[in-house]
Amino acid sequence: MTRTTDTTLYRQARLSRDARFDGLFFIAVVSTGIYCRPICPAPSPKEENVRYYASAIEASAQGFRPCLRCRPDSAPGSPAWLGKETTFRRALSLIQEGSLQETSVPALAERLGVSDRYLRKLFTESLGCSPKQYALYQQILFAKKLLHETRLPISDVAFAAGFNSIRRFNDCFQQQLSLSPTQVRRKPAESMMPSL
């Protein structure tokens, strides 16, 4: 049994091959044992032979195999459909988890299954910076958040943000924000008060 709620809508989308529904549900055909995307160019099966599923995985778990014509594994949102965006998103996620604080860019590229050069190219095309520059910027943003929201000593903030030396932390902070950590730590009201 499927978990869909409006089979009439899905039926209409299937019969009209409405691209707006591509990736939102999948059609399994009982008589062939195949599941498809709603935009599949194959002849439309009889409604009594059709089952609707919310995901490709769900159809596969019910014993249906993917269609070779419409490739349901490449529906919108799937890794195949996202292409290089999948690698880029995974790289961003690993960097935000601190991957480049512990390893190098070539090690990250190897973990992603791509070359160091390709990874750098992805970042340059998408963000206009290298993976390391992105990682340092994320570390600085985290440190800035800690400076605003906590009273931790600046040295503790530096280490919490993944820096191994205070000097490196201060240099990166100045380079990224054109401010020192102390200037960021000051409350706006304090910086506007006249000195006595």
Q: Does residue 66 lie within any of the structural domains? A: yes
- The amino acid present at 122, given as its one-letter code, is L
Do 50 and 68 fall into the same domain? yes
Please report the pLDDT score of residue 70 as a whole number: 87
Establish how many alpha carbons lie within 13 A of residue 116's alpha carbon, considering only the half-sphere containing its beta carbon. Answer: 6
Express each pLDDT in 168-194 by its tens digit: 999 998 988 888 898 888 755 444 444
Closest to 23 measured CA to CA, from 10, 6, 5: 10
Please report the pLDDT score of residue 187 as a whole number: 58
Residue 66 has pLDDT above 70, yes or no: yes
- The residue out of 63, 78, 93 marking a domain boundary is 78
- The residue out of 129, 144, 160 marking a domain boundary is 129
Out of 13, 27, 36, 75, pick the active-site residue: 36
172 is catalytic: no
Answer left, alpha or beta for residue 81, where phi above 0 means left and psi between -120 and 50 means alpha.
Answer: alpha
pTM above 0.75, yes or no: no
Provide the mean pLDDT of the chain.
86
Express each pLDDT in 12-28 by its tens digit: 889 998 888 888 899 99
Q: Does residue 16 lie within any of the structural domains? A: yes
129 is catalytic: no
Its domain, for residue 142, covers 134-182
Express each pLDDT in 142-170 by its tens digit: 999 999 999 999 999 999 999 988 999 99
Do 13 and 72 fall into the same domain? yes
Q: What is the mean pLDDT of residues 117-141?
A: 92
Out of 13, 59, 67, 161, pick the active-site residue: 67
- State the CATH number of the domain containing residue 65: 3.40.10.10
Please report the pLDDT score of residue 195 as a whole number: 46
Do 89 and 74 fall into the same domain? no
Model confidence at 132, pLDDT cuts 50, 70, 90, reads very high
Q: What is the mean pLDDT of residues 84-92?
A: 87
Out of 29, 34, 59, 70, pick the active-site residue: 70
Q: Could you give the number of structural domains in the chain?
A: 3
Q: Does residue 190 lie within any of the structural domains? A: no
Q: Does residue 164 lie within any of the structural domains? A: yes
Do 12 and 39 fall into the same domain? yes
